[in-house]
Chain A
Amino acid sequence: MAEPIIMPKLGFDMAEGTLVNWTVQTGQAIKKGDVIAEIETDKATIEIETTVEGTVLQLLAEPGDVVAVGAPIGYVGAEGEAPPEGAAPAKAAPAAAAEDAEEPAPAAPVQAAEVAPVEAAETGGDGVLKISPIARRLADERGIDPRHVQGTGPGGRITKKDIEGFVVAKAKAPAAPVAPKTAPAVPATPPIPPEAPRPTMPTFTEIPSGPDVEVIPLSRIRARIGQRLVESKQFVPHFYVTSEIDMAAALGLRQQINASIADEAGRITVNDFIVKATALALRRFPNLNSHYYGDKLVRHARINIGIAVSLDSGLVNVTSYDADKVSLGTMAYNHRDMITRAREGKVKPHEIEGSTFTVSNLGLFDVDHFIAIINPPEAGILAIGSAKKVPVVLEDGTLGVGTRMKVTISVDHRVSDGVEAASFLQVFKELLENPMRLLI
């Protein structure tokens, strides 16, 4: 009896995946756990293992095909067995799309070339975005692209509640500061009504063409990054606090440790120190380790640090779980392994979700400092510049040479305020300037 190979769900909000390539061939015997294909999701390229055993009878999806989660992409059965009659190509499989309808795709904007299969997937198979008339009208009025909204109605229909929830979650205005009566000169900021129309994303009707330009379709991961970060910049009120850290001790300690480690894979990077220090500082500031959901904050007991990793195709965050508890040595090994695999497109789904706070480090690229965009619903992100030799005023008042690194925290002002951010940076700085504390 032939069994389908199903497009797996590799993330909680994954609705479809692109088959990058098969690593098996028709006729090949496979057993559970064998890697059979590489799938590109919105977040990363991931190797998938088979959950069915037998002989590969048919490979329905071809490299480049976008397939809905749950749709068959191939069949496995007994050797010599024929694949099921009329096994439709995966990209057009309506049965799978129906299954998928339970979990509608928020779905990144789709390129024209991909339209046919993708649309079927993100719309539950009938070619229509499932949205109630009032939800569509509210989305229009508020400048929300309904394709970004998760539908919770029957069959995944986007309902009024979903649009309203979307606005509340992403755009809830902070309470207006009230001017004290004794100081009437200070104007009170009027509260922003939650139903105020939002600026819409610009649409690009005409794009340049011809021999002088090359038109490159945006990769799915690029489109997804764009969509998420536009949302973040639009809806999250960022503020930024920068601090300068004396890295001499940390760099010295790192050198000392690494000198004693023969295995290169175990060597500790500056970034490992930074992740560790971030996690230990977050222990003292649990508010910054919480996530923002409209009228609620979800405070996380675990401190999982997302590490931004650049890829050829874009960016992915790998997650350093329990970074406050895992030892620096284990952490160094894990980080190197995950980051390497992320760059090879072989990261596992759980390694790219679950972060509670993110660190983005451009230290290797000789930058003074930079500011990063928050990854919602996280409350903040830490941007790390390069540790540089700079002239400094020494304690005795004379000029000398020091090693300084500038870090900037971006914080969601709905969650926290300047004093907390500054206090966090103080603790972070103390940890890095007394790096032995990262080892205990």
Chain B
Amino acid sequence: MADRPITYREALSSALREEMQRDERVFIMGEEVGVWGGTYAVTRGFLDEFGARRVRDTPISEMVIAGAAVGAAMAGLRPIAEIMTINFAFLALDAIINHAAKVRYMFNGQFTVPLVIRTTTGGGKQLGATHSHAPEVIFAHFPGLYVAVPGTAYDAKGMLKASIRDDNPVLFVEHSTMLQRRSPVPDDPDFLLPIGKSDIKRKGSDVTIVTYQKGLEHSLVAAEELAKEGIEAEIVDLRWLRPLDLEPVFESFKKTNRCVVVEESLPMFNVGAEVAAQIHDVCFDWMDAPVKRVAAMDIPLPYSHEIELMALPSPEKIIRAVKEVV
């Protein structure tokens, strides 16, 4: 079957639809997912197609959404809970971290938690500090919870379908400014991507850029600019913050000897900190320069659009960081 370029949004929709068609136990719950069709129109038409039993609008309470979803998963259903933005998931941290991530360990695996919590991340839409951060790294801190961060339509579809079919709880993080991005995606209803595998998105020999989601988009732009100056960046798209697959990063680093980590997270205790520490540990004898990090500025994201963009990573910031190490 030929791969068709579709949008990130269509990739998510089709993944959900296919999995709901495939498995009766799969259902969707969240704020505005039914009548309204989802805040980002990912579930538009689902209420008509699958009915109110499987597409459930909930009260405006993230703790209720996540808590009920954990219970349903423990009881044998395969819920897909939607939380409008990851910044609101803080309200549901107890259900997500203390319950979804830990309950199997605490009850000796008597049950599984086949739960997917879909949420959106990312700034740049002038929504203010409480809606705009990209704090997915917080959720990746805890063992027991997978954290998916797809950066293309292709990855979004294959990773979401794999998440729904997996028996472990997954926080599935979508980037709110990338829903229109297109890439070719297989039509195959069994198109799955492995959980916890990063992916080389661009080959290069001079510097390794480790990134995901919006950082991937910026890095690809930066890499083309750098290539004009003869600097070839290799881009590793992590795709999952947990399980974190750094093998391709180490392999790439042993070739390039330099690394820049690009992410939209805040700069302290972020993905770059983890990647840098592990490179330092595994690749010390291959290091030619310190690992550099490009992240959001260490401030609550401003409301002013211009200042908000200044506070976020950009291709220019990536180019600057790369030039500091090559």
Task: Tell me the A residues contacting B by CB distance below 8 Å.
Answer: 132-135, 137, 153-154, 157, 159-161
Contact A134–B288 (Cβ < 8 Å): yes
Are the CB atoms of B324 and A133 closer together than 8 Å? no
A134 near B285: Cβ-Cβ < 8 Å: yes
- Taking the closest CB of chain A, its distance from the CB of B278, in whole angstroms, is 15
- Residues from chain A with a CB closer than 8 A to the CB of B287 are 132-134
**B284 lies within 8 A of chain A by Cβ:** yes
B contact residues around A133 at 8 Å (CB) = 284-288
Distance of A154 Cα from B322 Cα, bound (Å): 12
Q: A134-B257, A154-B324 are in contact. Are A159 and B285 (CB under 8 A)?
A: no
Interface size class for chain B? Answer: under 10
Q: Which residues of B contact A134 (CB under 8 A)?
A: 257, 285-288
CB distance from A129 to the nearest CB of B (A): 15
Which residues of B282-297 are within 8 A (CB) of A? Answer: 284-289
A137 to chain B: closest residue by CB: B285
Q: How far does the alpha carbon of A11 sit from the alpha carbon of B118 in the complex, in Å?
A: 65
10 additional contacts (CB under 8 A) given A132-B288, A132-B289, A133-B286: A132-B257, A133-B287, A133-B288, A134-B286, A134-B287, A135-B288, A153-B288, A154-B289, A157-B289, A161-B288
List chain A residues, Cβ under 8 A from B324. 154
Residues of chain A lying within 8 A (CB to CB) of residue B285: 133-134, 137
- Closest B residue to A136 by CB, please name it: B285
Among residues of A, the one whose C-beta sits closest to the C-beta of B289 is A132
Q: Please, how many angstroms separate the alpha-carbon atoms of A161 and B284 in the complex?
A: 17
A132–B253 Cα gap in the complex (Å)? Answer: 14
Most A CB contacts (10 A, CB to CB) among B284, B286, B288 go to: B288
Q: Please report B residues at the A interface, Cβ cutoff 8 Å.
A: 257, 284-289, 324
Q: How far is the CA of A95 from the CA of B27 in the complex (A)?
A: 67
- How far is it, in angstroms, between the C-alpha of A211 and the C-alpha of B73 when the chains are bound? 89
Chain B residues near A160: list those with CB within 8 A.
257, 288
In the complex, how many angstroms separate the beta carbon of B124 from the nearest chain A beta carbon?
A: 31
Instruction: Report the minimal beta-carbon distance from B113 to chain A, rounded to whole angstroms.
Output: 43
Q: What's the nearest-Cβ distance from chain A to residue B82, in Å?
A: 46
Minimal beta-carbon separation of A199 from chain B (angstroms): 23
Closest 5 CB pairs of A and B: A132-B288, A133-B287, A160-B288, A137-B285, A134-B288
Q: Which of A133, A135, A154, A160 is the most central at the interface, judged by chain B CB atoms within 10 Å of its CB?
A: A133
What would 26 A/B residue contacts be, using CB atoms closer than 8 Å? A132-B257, A132-B287, A132-B288, A132-B289, A133-B284, A133-B285, A133-B286, A133-B287, A133-B288, A134-B257, A134-B285, A134-B286, A134-B287, A134-B288, A135-B288, A137-B285, A153-B288, A153-B289, A154-B289, A154-B324, A157-B289, A159-B288, A159-B289, A160-B257, A160-B288, A161-B288
- Minimum CB distance partner of A153 in chain B: B289
Contact partners of A135 in chain B: CB under 8 A: 288
Residues of A within 8 A of B289 (CB): 132, 153-154, 157, 159
| Most chain B CB neighbours (cut-off 10 Å) among A132, A135, A157, A161 | A132
CB of A14, distance to nearest CB on chain B (Å)? 27
Min CB gap B320→A, angstroms: 13
How close is A156's CB to chain B, nearest CB, in angstroms? 13
Q: Which residue of A lies closest to B286 (CB)?
A: A134
Chain A residues contacting B286 (CB-CB under 8 Å) are: 133-134
Taken together as a complex, chains A and B put the C-alpha atoms of A25 and B324 apart, in Å, by 46
| Smallest beta-carbon distance B284→chain A, Å | 5
In the complex, A236→B257 CA distance in Å?
30
B contact residues around A157 at 8 Å (CB)? 289
Q: How far is the CA of A137 from the CA of B287 in the complex (A)?
A: 10
Give min CB distance, A154 to chain B, whole Å: 7
**A154 CA / B292 CA spacing, docked (Å):** 13
Q: How far is the CA of A154 from the CA of B321 in the complex (A)?
A: 12
Question: What is the minimal beta-carbon distance from A131 to any residue of chain B, in angstroms?
Answer: 10
CA distance A254 to B289 in the complex (A): 61
Closest A residue to B325 by CB, please name it.
Answer: A154
A132 to B286, CA, bound (A): 8
Alpha-carbon gap, A160 to B257, bound state (A): 9
CA distance A134 to B287 in the complex (A): 5
CA distance in complex: A159, B289 (Å): 8
- Within the complex, what minimum Cβ distance (angstroms) separates A165 from chain B? 13
Interchain nearest-CB distance for B42 vs A (Å): 45
